Structure 1
Amino acid sequence: MEAGLLERHFKLSERGTSVRTEVLAGVTTFLAMAYIVVVNPAILGQAGMPVAAVAAATCFAAAFASILMGLVANVPLALAPGMGLNAYFSFTVVQQMGVPWPVALACVFLSGVAFLILTLTGIRQLIVAAIPPHLFAAIAGGIGLFIGFIGLKEAGIIVANPATLVSLGSLAAPGPALALFGLAVIGTLSVRNVRAAVLIGILLTTLAAGLAGQIATPDQPYSIDAITGTAFKLDFAGLIGGLGSTGFGLVEIIFVLLFVDVFDNVGTLVAVTRRAGLMDAAGRIPGLNRILAADAVAAMVGALAGTTTVTSYVESAAGVQAGGRTGLAAVVTGLLFFATIFVAPYAQLVPLAATAPALIVVGGLMLRPLADISWDDPQVAIPAFLTVAMIPLSFSIANGLAFGIAAHAGLKLAKGQASRADWFLFTLAALFVARFVWMSAA
C-alpha cells in the first residue's frame, strides 16, 4: 500500500501515529511473542504431532490472523496459538482423554465456528455477563500456574514422587541445569526491559544445549513443506464417530476451547485497547464484533493449518507501548511471522530444556489478574481458589472451570442472592455437576 492508502485505511493521522511508528510497534510486538514459534511445537509435539509441521503451522496461523485483524478491525492486536489451550490440547485432551490429535484439531475448528456464531448472534455477551470478574481472573491465574507447572515438569526441576506426588529433581542433571540457565537469562533480560527476553533466552539455552551435546539430531526434514504433516489433517469422521461412545467428552472439549478463548479475548482486548486509548467514553471497544469475528475465523484457519486455538496476545501491549495505535502494527507483526515460516521447521532442534524456562516465565506473568481478587471475601475467594488450584493440580482447565462456576453458583444460593437473571449461570453450574456425576459413574 502507498502512504496515502495506508493513511486512509488505517486512519493514522486520526489516531495520532505514523507509518514509521506503526512499523516499529509491529516489530516490537513480534519480538515479544516470537517465542511461540518454538514453544508451541514443543508442547504439541508431546501430543504426537510432527514438530516441524507444527512450527510452520504456528507461523502461518499467526501471520494470517494478525494480518486479518489489522486489515479488518484496525487494532494493534496480534494473534497466535494461545498458551494454556495448547497445553490443554496436549496433556488433557490427547494424553489423558486419549483423543487422537486429528480429532482434537476438528474440535478446535468447531470451537472457532461456535465462537463466530456466538459473536454474530450476540450470545457471547450472555456468557461473559454470567461469569463474575473474579472468576475471569482466577481462570487466567490458574492457566498461568498450569503452564508454569508444565515448564517445571518438562525441565526436570519437578519430578514425580510416589510418597509426595511431586518433589524436587536433581538440579545437577543436564536438563534442569540448562533450564535454570535459561530462566536466569530470561529473568535478567526481563528486568532490563528487553522486549525479546523470552526469545533470546530460548536461543541462548539452545546454544548451550548444543555445546553440551544435549540436542538430538531430528530425522524430520528442514523444509517449509513440513507443514503438510498437519495441514488439513482434521478428522471430522473420527469426531462424528466418537460422539456415539464419548460424546460428552468431545462436547466438553469444544466447550472448554470456546469458553477459554472467549475469556482470553475479552481480557486481552480490554487490556490492549485501554492502553492504546481506543475505548470510548463509556468504556466500550469500537468495532468489537469485527475484532471477535476476525479472531473466530483465525481459530478455524489455524486448526486447518494444524495448530491449536489462535487467540489475541497480551504481548500486543508491548507494541502499543512503542506507539502502535492502528491495525498497521498488527499487519507488520503478521508479515514478520510469515517470513519466519521459512525457518520454522528448525524449531525441532530446540530441546525441552530451552522451552521450559519460557513456560515458567510466561506462566508466572499470567498470575497478574489474581491481584484483582478480593481474597478477604469468602464468596469470592472460595470459588477463585478452587479454580486456581484445580487447573494445575488436576491438569485440566475444564476441572478448574467446573469447580469455580459450581462453587460460585452454590454460594450465591447459600447467601440467598439467586435471581432470574442468573439462569444461565445456574444452567452452567448444573451441567458441570452433571459432568462430575457422569465421570464418577463412568
Structure 2
Amino acid sequence: MNSNQESSAIKKLFPLLANKNVDFKKEIVAGLTTFLTMAYIIAVNPSILSETGMDAGALVTATCLAAAIGCFLMGFIANLPFALASGMGINAFFAYTVVIKGGIPWEVALTAIFVEGIIFILLNLFKVRELVVNSIPMNMKYAVTAGIGVFIAFSGIKGNGLIIANEATLISMGKITPAVVFTFIGLLVIAACDKKQIKGSILLGIATSSILAWSYAILDPTAAANLGIHLPKGLFKFESIAPIAGKIDFGYLFNPEHIEGFLLVIVTILFVDFFGTIGTLVGVASKADMLDENGNFPNAGRALISDAIATTIGSLLGVSTVTAYVESSTGVLAGGRTGFTAITVGVLFLIAMFFSPVFIAIPACATAPALLYVGYLMITSIQEIDMFNITEGLPAFVTIITMALTFSIGDGLTLGILTYVFVNLFYNLICKKEEKKPVSGVMIVLAILFILKLAFL
C-alpha cells in the first residue's frame, strides 16, 4: 500500500482528518459554548450517583473522563459537533430506581450499563439504530427539532426558578428573583449581539450572567446560596477514580432469582437511551442542515457507534450511560460543524478534571439564557412542517408538546411516533385508494415495541 492509499484509509477511518478549510476559531468557540452549557453535569452527575454509596470525588473525575472520551470518539470517528456525557435522567434511574429502590448493588448496575453498551455496539454493527434514524419521516424530524427547542427552553427557565412545581396545577410561575433577572440580562446580551452579528453571542451571554451571579454571591452569600449561586470553592482539585473504576460484577447474576430483574433494568435503559439519543441526534442534525436530500442523517451510524463505545467505556470508569447531549445545539448554532467542536468539548472536560470547582460554580441562571435562545432558534423548524395536513401536523404537535410536558426527549419521540402510525394507518382504512399514504414497516415495528414498553416497563 503506497502513502496515498494509506492516507486515504486513515481518512476513511477518521473522517475528521479529511476536513478542509475548517474555521478553527469558530469550532473552538462552538465547543466552548457547548461545554459551558453542559458543564453542570460535572456537579450534578456525582451528586446523583453518590447517593448509591459511590465515592463523590471519584465520580467527578470519572464523569469528566468519560465525557472527554465520548467527545473524542464523536469527533474523530463521526466528525460531528455533538458532545457526549453521562445522561441526565438515566443517571437518576440508575441511582434512585435501580440501586436505592431496587436494592441492586451499584457495581451490578454498572454491569447493566456495560451490557447495554455491548448491545448497542452489536445493534450498530447490524445498522439497526441507523435504520431507525433514517426511517423517521421528514416532518417528524422537524418536529423533533422543534420539540427539543421547547424542551431545553423549559429546562432553562425551570433551572433558574422562573417555573416552579405547584400541587394544584403541576407547574406555575415562580418569583422574579435575582437569578431570573440575571438570566434575562444574559438573554438580552445574546439577542443584542445576535442582532449586531457579533460572534460568540451565546458565550457572551453565559459570561455576563455568571459574572453578575458571582458578584451577587460576594455581596450577599446567603441569599445567593438560596438561589443555587455559589462562588468557586478554590481553583484546583483532582480526585482518583480508583474507588469506582473497573467494578463490573457479573457474580450477582449467578442467582436465578436476580436474572429477571437484571434483564428488566437492561431493557428499560436500552429504551430510554436508544430513543433519547436518536431524538437528540436527529433534532440537532436537522437544525444544522446535516440531513441529506432524502432527510437521512449520513453519519448516523458513526455517531451511534461512538455513543455505544462511550457507554461501554464509561461503565468501566464508573459512571452511568454516556449519551449525546441536547446542549450540543448551542455549539451548532454558534457555528460548529465538524468534529473539532466535539474534540474541543472533550479537551475542556479533561481540563475540568483539574479545575472542576470553577466549572461546577457556573450557575443555572447563567446557562439558562443559552438554553432559551437556542430553544427559540430550534422551534423555528416548525415552519417546515405541513401543519395543515393533519396526518403530518398532529403527530408533529404531539411530539413537540410531549417532549416538554413529559420532560423527556425519548418519551416525546415515543408518543409522536405512536400518533403518526395510528393516525396514518387509520386514515388509510377510510380514505380513497389513491389518497393512501404508505407507513414504513420500521415505523410500525417501532409502534409495536413502544406499546409493549408502555404496557410492561
Q: Do Structure 1 and Structure 2 share a fold, with TM-score over 0.5?
A: yes
- Partners in 2 of 1:68 and 1:116 — Cα distance? 14
Match of 1:200 in 2: 207
Identity among equivalent pairs (%): 26
- Partners in 1 of 2:16 and 2:286 — Cα distance? 21
- Within the alignment, does 1:311 sit opposite 2:324 as a pair? yes
Q: Which moved more, 1:220-229 or 1:426-435?
A: 220-229
Q: Which amino acid in structure 2 is aligned with residue 77 of structure 1?
A: P
> Which residue of 436, 439, 442 maps to 2:454?
436
What per-residue deviation string (whole Å, max 9, x for no partner) do you get for residues 166-205 of structure 1?
222222xxxx321331332144135414252354145324
Q: Which amino acid in structure 2 is aligned with residue 147 of structure 1?
A: I
Change (3 A) 1:236 1:168: farther
Q: Which runs of 5+ in 1 are unaligned?
A: none
- Within the alignment, does 1:132 sit opposite 2:147 as a pair? no
- Partners in 2 of 1:224 and 1:350 — Cα distance? 18
Q: Which moved more, 1:289-298 or 1:335-344?
A: 289-298
In the alignment of these two chains, the number of paired residues is 418
Q: What is the deviation of 1:410?
A: 0.9
Q: Which moved more, 1:211-220 or 1:159-168?
A: 211-220
Q: What is the deviation of 1:252?
A: 2.7
Q: Which runs of 5+ in 2 are unaligned?
A: 1-5, 195-200, 430-435
Q: What is the deviation of 1:343?
A: 0.4
Contact 1:55 1:347 in 2 (8 A): no
Contact 2:134 2:296 in 1 (8 A): no
Match of 1:382 in 2: 394
> Which residue of 275, 279, 286 maps to 1:259?
275
- Secondary structure, aligned partner of 1:367: helix
Within-5 A mapping of 1:135-214: 135-171=140-176, 176-193=177-194, 194-197=201-204, 199-201=206-208, 203-211=210-218, 212-213=220-221, 214=224
- Secondary structure, aligned partner of 2:428: coil
- Partners in 2 of 1:114 and 1:45 — Cα distance? 26
Change (3 A) 1:353 1:126: closer
Within-5 A mapping of 1:356-371: 356-371=368-383
What per-residue deviation string (whole Å, max 9, x for no partner) do you get for residues 317-369 of structure 1?
36756xx76x5665455434423331024444444444555554454444343
Change (3 A) 1:45 1:209: farther
Contact 2:84 2:307 in 1 (8 A): no
Q: What is the deviation of 1:406?
A: 1.6
- Within the alignment, does 1:113 sit opposite 2:118 as a pair? yes
Contact 1:137 1:370 in 2 (8 A): yes
Match of 2:443 in 1: 425
Contact 1:52 1:346 in 2 (8 A): no
Q: Which moved more, 1:159-168 or 1:52-61?
A: 52-61
Change (3 A) 1:315 1:156: closer
Contact 1:79 1:311 in 2 (8 A): yes
> Which residue of 238, 261, 264 maps to 1:224?
238
Q: What is the deviation of 1:247?
A: 4.8
- Partners in 1 of 2:374 and 2:251 — Cα distance? 36
Change (3 A) 1:436 1:364: same
Change (3 A) 1:412 1:164: same
- Partners in 2 of 1:197 and 1:270 — Cα distance? 25
Match of 1:123 in 2: 128
- Partners in 1 of 2:162 and 2:248 — Cα distance? 35
- Partners in 2 of 1:436 and 1:233 — Cα distance? 32
TM-score when normalising by structure 2: 0.72
Q: What is the deviation of 1:375?
A: 1.5
Within-5 A mapping of 1:402-421: 402-416=414-428
Match of 2:84 in 1: 80
- Secondary structure, aligned partner of 1:335: helix
Within-5 A mapping of 1:87-102: 88-89=89-90, 102=106
